[in-house]
Amino acid sequence: MAPAYPKDLVLRFFRSMYLIRRFEERAAQAYGQGKINGFCHLYIGQEAVAVGVNEAVQPRDYLITAYRDHGYALARGADVGMVMAELFGRGTGYSKGKGGSMHIYDIEHNVLGGYGIVGGQIPLAAGTAFAARYRNDDRITVCYFGDAAANQGSFHETLNMAAKWSLPVIFLCENNRYGMGTAMTRVSAVAKVARRAVAYDMRAESVDGHDVLKVYETVKDCAAWCRSGKGPVLLEADTYRYRGHSMSDAATYRSKEEVEAERKSDPIPRLRAWAVSAQLATEAEFDALEAEVKATVDEAVKFADASPEPPVEELWTDHLVEPGERDVPPRERVRGVKVDWPRYPSGQELRVKWDLEPRIPVQDGEPHLKKPA
């Protein structure tokens, strides 16, 4: 762990990770009770990645991910009750219960959704990064995906385009070692995903995904790189999920000994132990945070339980935005609060101001690869 951090930042790290952990544990319980239907993919064990990234980037930056998506929205500040209600399929959810567990979408916090197609979000991230550069609005995109998505064609096609156009995007592979029930080492000639960046002359980094402080520092540096116009980064976070791929997965392809060995690196008690030993905070302060988070999650479950199911008529809404139709932010609709809805540049001539097809200089008959600055 790195030595010197403000106390409020460390406590914020802990609270956010603990909130995700408790939320996911209650989601698992609710799934067993039949309150959550369909698929449900838990983020337990990987919390340090979402939390470290969120603190390292800016609120206006875009986040886009796959279907293991609850934690990213919670780290960003999404309404806990509304996320739980979305899992429950209730009308007070972010998408009126129509998105469910795999499609948490919170545009207020620039969380642009979870996507159920493996690797399907990767090209979309290049699109948002292209839009940011096109508008010159200084945003970057963080695209989360699992290790198995790195074997999809869309991964390679997108990295090639992003590198060619120097797009401001961090492609963040959360390598938890398994694509569903198949070990990455069984199906990949190059199991270390970060090594693949060399094929696209792209900066590559690896980080311990169990250490929220290392994730935070690494992503801060990568974000500054992207924001300064130096192009994309392929970042690999080595992590581990303590539960199965989804709630329907018994995870019999892993031994109990393997899982228990990995639990020794659990990012939440790891941060707490370090902070106490460094005298940044006391055990009592952590206990108080845990109690506050538990109460928050309890209230979220009660809110979801008490919320109505959407009426059948909702099947026919929200497909198209008609001309002049007002876009109502979810928290305004559910909580009645005024929401600062994101806005984008308009009324200006938008033109690409860089060469979309820069020629790579050739030396001695071979393309000359540019070196990182």
* Domain CATH for 199: 3.40.50.970
- The predicted pLDDT at position 135 comes to 86
Nearest by Cα to 146 from 7, 4, 46, 283: 46
327 is a domain residue: no
- The predicted pLDDT at position 357 comes to 75
317 is a domain residue: no
Could you list the residue range(s) of the whole structural domain that residue 296 is in? 7-310
- The predicted pLDDT at position 340 comes to 86
- The predicted pLDDT at position 368 comes to 54
174 is a domain residue: yes
- The predicted pLDDT at position 327 comes to 83
- The predicted pLDDT at position 349 comes to 60
342 is a domain residue: no
355 is a domain residue: no
Name the token pair of 1.
Answer: 């762990």
For the beta sheet containing 169-175, the strands, ordered from the edge strand earlier in sequence to the opposite edge, are 111-114, 62-65, 141-146, 169-175, 233-238, 203-208
Q: Is the CB of residue 267 less than 8 Å from the CB of residue 47? A: yes
- The predicted pLDDT at position 159 comes to 98
- The predicted pLDDT at position 1 comes to 45
- The predicted pLDDT at position 56 comes to 98
Residues of the chain with pLDDT under 70: 1-3, 345-351, 359-373
Q: What percent of the chain has pLDDT over 90?
A: 81
Alpha helices for the chain (secondary structure H): 7-32, 47-56, 70-76, 80-87, 121-135, 153-164, 184-187, 212-227, 256-263, 267-277, 283-306, 330-335
Domain count of the fold of the chain: 1
Record the pTM.
Answer: 0.93
65 is a domain residue: yes
- The predicted pLDDT at position 367 comes to 57
- The predicted pLDDT at position 263 comes to 94
- The predicted pLDDT at position 365 comes to 58
pLDDT in tens, 322-339: 888 888 899 999 999 999
105 is a domain residue: yes
- The predicted pLDDT at position 364 comes to 59
Q: How many helices and strands, by DSSP H and E, does the chain display? A: 12, 10
302 is a domain residue: yes
